[in-house]
Amino acid sequence: MADQLYDFGLIGLGVMGRNLLLNMADHGFAVLGYNRSPQKVTDLESEMVPGTTIKGTSDLALMVKELKTPRRIMLLVQAGKPVDAVLDELIPLLDKGDIIIDGGNSHYTDTNRRTRTLQEKGFHFMGVGVSGGEEGARRGPSIMPGGDREAYPHVQPMLEAVSAKVNGEPCVAYLGNGAAGHYVKMVHNGIEYGIMQLISEVYDVLHRGYGLSNSELHEVFREWNEGQLQSFLVEITRDILKKKDDKTGKDLVDVILDKAGSKGTGKWTSQDAMDLGISIPTIDVAVSMRSLSAIKAERVEAAAIYNSNTKVSGADKDELIEQARQALLFGTLISYAQGLALLHEASREYNLEIPLPQVVKIWRGGCIIRSTLLEDYYKAYTANPSLPNILLDAGIAGLVKSCEAKTRSFLATAVSAGIPVSGLSVSLGYFDAYRSATMPTNLIQAQRDFFGAHTFQRTDEEGIFHAHWQ
């Protein structure tokens, strides 16, 4: 097939890249994959489905030569320097007007920089978030494109074909200017961190605190996944809890070391929210707890000093499980609310023009934070696309109120037992502060003015004031 002109090229044949390419080929596109390592090329070709058109190569110039113009090339390589290294190699081989898509988890400021430099050189560049892990890439991810509007129609049919579908609608939509796609993906990951932290906390209270076995918890999560909590993360937790270790025959979850890794997107979400002055404490805590988890040796030492029994005693089993369910629902609602409030503000501040109804619509399928709740958000944002916070929507408020009381009871139990529930606690704290018409920050203003003459405003008069405190 020497003269075949291919529709699409993909650079980076790790498992995500390989799966996405196989997915494109399933949908009738002729695709080319490049990887420097010949082994990765062989891996791709060994998985090729008969009747589809896929070719792998370790020759970048050959790949460029065999693509239809304007060329459409996606990079799925590790974020950071590797993206720049590939671009440096690729750009001299391309023609003006070619379209380059970065489908990795790049930091949005890198995407802004690359957009500028590539635009100056006459290329189209799009930062595109892709979520759904390995399976999503193969069977249908949620895709978050942003950037070059002119280039989008050239890649739209392909992205729509390979994306997940909900009610027949593709989980992909143009999400705004510049680095909007990567910004939305970053916040998606921040929400992902928050919900994962919350799930781990309810698991801890029910397992370590109350003593439910993994197989009992498997049943609990199975039931939860059939109701309001139905979501990808609850579903995989259900499955994790029944998985046996091949080596020991024990429950696999029990032999996994309690140190969490991270690649940075959660931290970036928190950092940017801090810069924008947006409160996202559930996500902040999720990042922070991963950091605390990493200092295992220190925790072991502290456990010997502060020995606590972490046992929940005297609770009614069914009631505790129901409280846990409602607390998880409550925290999940708050996690989304914080992430979406950040997107609202970032869109305004950075002029990204992110359409929030579209964001929640394409998160309904394919991505890691897909859940039935997104249908409710979609309704809310369709009715009012400029909501600053989803908690102001009457429908969402009804849901939050319905699980508030049991969340408080669950937290009281966990806190008395000394089980760390920082994610759930700050979710409730955030809610209590957000719905407070008055906060005690008048006192903070007084203190600031007392020691630093930082001035204050008054409740009864316009203007800026300073008092002589002593």
Can residue 368 be called a binding residue for ligand 6PG (CB under 6 A)?
yes
Can residue 106 be called a binding residue for ligand 6PG (CB under 6 A)?
no
Q: Per CB under 6 A, which region of 24-32, 34-42, 131-139, 418-426 contacts ligand 6PG?
A: 131-139
Can residue 53 be called a binding residue for ligand 6PG (CB under 6 A)?
no
Can residue 58 be called a binding residue for ligand 6PG (CB under 6 A)?
no
Q: Of the candidates 70, 80, 97, 133, which one interacts with ligand 6PG according to CB under 6 A?
A: 133
**Catalytic annotation, pick one of 185, 267, 361, 406:** 185
SS3 call for 382:
helix
Query: Of 199, 130, 119, 192, nearest to 158 (Cα)?
Result: 130
Q: Which is nearer to ligand 6PG, 50 or 261 (CB)?
A: 261
Q: Which is nearer to ligand 6PG, 42 or 262 (CB)?
A: 262
CA distance 140 to 136: 5
Compute the Cα dihedral for 106, 169, 239, 246 and give only its sign: negative
Q: Per CB under 6 A, which region of 129-137, 172-180, 268-276, 332-340 contacts ligand 6PG?
A: 129-137
Query: Of 147, 140, 141, nearest to 175 (Cα)?
Result: 147
CA distance 80 to 84: 7
Can residue 323 be called a binding residue for ligand 6PG (CB under 6 A)?
no
Q: At closest approach, how far in Å is the CB of 99 from ligand 6PG? A: 22
Can residue 335 be called a binding residue for ligand 6PG (CB under 6 A)?
no
**469: exposed, middle or buried (Cβ count in 10 Å: 0-12, 13-18, 19+):** exposed
Q: Which is nearer to ligand 6PG, 203 or 232 (CB)?
A: 232
Could you give phi then psi for residue 177, rounded to 5 degrees?
-75, 160
* 185 labelled catalytic: yes
Can residue 355 be called a binding residue for ligand 6PG (CB under 6 A)?
no
CA 171, distance to chain mean position in Å, is: 15
**CA separation (Å) from 4 to 1, 41, 149?**
5, 18, 29
Can residue 338 be called a binding residue for ligand 6PG (CB under 6 A)?
no
Q: Which is nearer to ligand 6PG, 262 or 409 (CB)?
A: 262
Q: At closest approach, how far in Å is the CB of 181 from ligand 6PG? A: 13
Can residue 132 be called a binding residue for ligand 6PG (CB under 6 A)?
yes
Q: Which residue blocks in 47-179 are alpha helix, DSSP H? A: 60-65, 81-90, 108-120, 133-139, 152-162
Non-local (6+) Cβ contacts of 136 within 8 A are 130, 142, 164, 366, 367, 368
Peptide bond into 385 cis (omega under 30): no
Q: At closest approach, how far in Å is the CB of 306 from ligand 6PG? A: 29
- Interactions with ligand 6PG, residue window 168-197 (CB under 6 A): 189, 192
Strand 165-166 relative to strand 8-11, pairing: unpaired
Can residue 261 be called a binding residue for ligand 6PG (CB under 6 A)?
yes
180-204 vs 422-434: helix axis angle to the nearest 10? 120
Can residue 258 be called a binding residue for ligand 6PG (CB under 6 A)?
no
Q: Tokens 């802004």 belong to which residue?
A: 112
> Are 189 and 105 in contact, with CB atoms under 8 Å apart?
yes
Q: How many residues of this chain interact with ligand 6PG, rule: CB under 6 A?
A: 13
**Catalytic annotation, pick one of 55, 66, 192, 201:** 192
Can residue 200 be called a binding residue for ligand 6PG (CB under 6 A)?
no
* 192 labelled catalytic: yes
Q: At closest approach, how far in Å is the CB of 347 from ligand 6PG? A: 20
Q: Of the candidates 171, 367, 417, 428, which one interacts with ligand 6PG according to CB under 6 A?
A: 367
List residues near ligand 6PG by CB under 6 A.
105, 131-133, 189, 192, 261-263, 265-266, 367-368
Q: Which residues are catalytic?
A: 185, 192
